[in-house]
């Protein structure tokens, strides 16, 4: 398989409701959607998880667009993929570009998706997936009202979500978590701080130990694996790393240092599927719990995350909620829905092309670049 053409579409998709985290508010989903066309021709798709502002990490939609068009696409023309093993060469070719994992992931995953279409193999099977159905959790943004939060979470629990993740920051942590714990004593509950704390806040975070959280996600700064290890030594609650993990090598370092017990894997954050499989294997070998996170993906990224979650080492429900969590209308048809409350089935899809809703893509498209 060779790639003859790359089409980059930029879409603006309305979110159902603004999503608030410790780093800011998202109103609209700014999507870079990549399509790679092969000789046959078949098309592979993937979306970039970079956001408009550099608050989650330093990449943005604009930097990703620049890196993809100026540095990554030129590397693709010389490549050829004939076997599943060849899919690891994309990641290798991209190594000359430092970091920019979100930009790399978009193109790398589009190549995997094209390979699935070209050789008519389910993407989940290509990745090494075994599960037919996966459990799902939900991520809840920062709220101002406790009663509204309780109502909202009650609604999610009723819908069947298998666990609830609450975004926290100093001033919005113990009180809402404690309220959720007393309202839902047996709920799998976790907190995501998106790096809003410092090691000096250890005592404040230690208070959360009494709430039986399944984990606390990314309490400290992204580059600070060392202090996460020091914090983990003080906490009973397992630490989960999200922003700190950009590569398999980061997972190895975190495991060696005892910086966490859980990994939130987002293929779009670590440079794509090949790196994700390696991370999965390291987690299995080191006894780290693993789940698949999300970045408000459209159905295309969602289907890819679900396919990845079908690998055996994903031990906990992910943030791979159905399409209607964020979008009134998704760009895939049918949208992602529960197979039964709290679960999603793994579609044996030979590339997401089968489920693309072109009318929705056209409706939300703001620009298009052809390479
Ligand atoms: O920290 O996990 C995060 C969304 C965007 C960026 C970072 C994060 C999130 C979420 C929502 O928590 C996950 C989702 O439902 O897609
Ligand atoms: Mg997170």
> Which candidate in 29, 165, 167, 261 is catalytic?
167
Give the containing element (helix H, strand E) for 87: helix 87-93
High-pLDDT (> 90) share of the chain, %: 95
pLDDT tens-digit readout, 302-331: 999 999 999 999 999 999 999 999 999 999
Known active-site residue 252: no
Tokens of 244: 């700190």
pLDDT tens-digit readout, 190-206: 999 999 999 999 999 99
What secondary structure letter does DSSP report for 84?
G
pLDDT of the residue at 21: 67
Mean local confidence (pLDDT), 164-185: 97
**pLDDT confidence bin for 28, thresholds 50/70/90:** confident
How many angstroms separate the first and last alpha carbons of the chain?
Answer: 17
Ion ligand 2: residues, CB within 5 A, are: 192, 217, 242
Pocket test for ligand 1, best of 20, 262, 293, 320 (most atoms within 8 A of CB): 293
Three-class SS state of 207: helix
- Half-sphere exposure at residue 243, Cβ-oriented, CA atoms within 13 angstroms: 23
pLDDT at position 26 over 80: no
Please tell me whether the peptide bond between 41 and the residue prior to it is cis, using omega within 30 degrees of 0: yes
The finding on whether 242 has its CB within 6 A of some atom of ligand 1 is yes
Query: What ligand 1 atom has the least distance to the C-alpha of 194?
Result: 1
Query: What ligand 1 atom has the least distance to the C-alpha of 26?
Result: 5
Q: Flag whether the ipTM exceeds 0.85.
A: yes
Give the containing element (helix H, strand E) for 179: helix 174-183
Known active-site residue 266: yes
pLDDT at position 138 over 90: yes
pLDDT tens-digit readout, 51-101: 999 999 999 999 999 999 999 999 999 999 999 999 999 999 999 999 999
Query: What ligand 1 atom has the least distance to the C-alpha of 264?
Result: 2
pLDDT at position 23 over 80: no
What domains sit in the chain, N to C, each tagged with a CATH number? 3-120+356-370 (3.30.390.10), 125-351 (3.20.20.120)
């Amino acid at each position: 398989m060779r790639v003859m053409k790359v089409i980059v579409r930029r879409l603006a998709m309305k979110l159902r409701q603004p999503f608030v985290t410790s780093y800011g508010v998202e109103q609209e989903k700014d999507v870079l959607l990549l399509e790679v066309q092969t000789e046959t021709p078949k098309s592979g798709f993937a979306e970039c998880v970079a956001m408009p502002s550099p608050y989650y990490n330093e990449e943005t939609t604009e930097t990703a667009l620049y890196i993809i068009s100026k540095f990554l696409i030129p590397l693709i023309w010389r490549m050829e993929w004939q076997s599943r093993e060849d899919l690891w060469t994309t990641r290798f070719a991209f190594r000359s570009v430092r970091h920019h994992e979100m930009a790399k992931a978009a193109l790398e995953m589009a190549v995997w998706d094209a390979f699935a279409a070209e050789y008519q193999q389910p993407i989940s099977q290509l990745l090494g997936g075994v599960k037919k159905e996966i459990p799902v959790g939900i991520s809840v943004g920062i709220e101002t009202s406790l009663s509204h939060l309780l109502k909202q979470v009650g609604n999610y629990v009723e819908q069947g979500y298998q666990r609830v993740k609450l975004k926290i920051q100093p001033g919005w942590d113990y009180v809402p978590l404690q309220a959720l714990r007393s309202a839902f004593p047996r709920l799998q509950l976790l907190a995501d701080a998106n790096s809003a704390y410092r090691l000096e806040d250890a005592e404040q975070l230690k208070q959360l130990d009494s709430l039986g959280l399944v984990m606390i996600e990314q309490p400290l700064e992204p580059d600070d694996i060392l202090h996460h290890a020091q914090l983990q030594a003080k906490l009973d609650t397992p630490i989960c790393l999200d922003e700190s993990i950009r590569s398999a090598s980061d997972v190895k370092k975190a495991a060696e240092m005892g910086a966490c017990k859980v990994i939130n894997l987002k293929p779009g954050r670590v440079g794509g599927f090949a790196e994700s499989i390696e991370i999965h294997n390291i987690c299995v070998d080191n006894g780290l719990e693993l789940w698949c996170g999300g970045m408000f993906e459209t159905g295309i990224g969602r289907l890819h995350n679900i396919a990845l979650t079908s690998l055996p080492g994903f031990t906990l429900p992910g943030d791979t909620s159905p399409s209607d969590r964020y979008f009134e209308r998704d760009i895939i048809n049918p949208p992602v829905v529960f197979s039964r409350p709290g679960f999603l089935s793994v579609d044996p899809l030979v590339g997401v092309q089968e489920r693309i809703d072109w009318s929705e893509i056209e409706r939300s498209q703001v620009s298009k670049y052809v390479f």
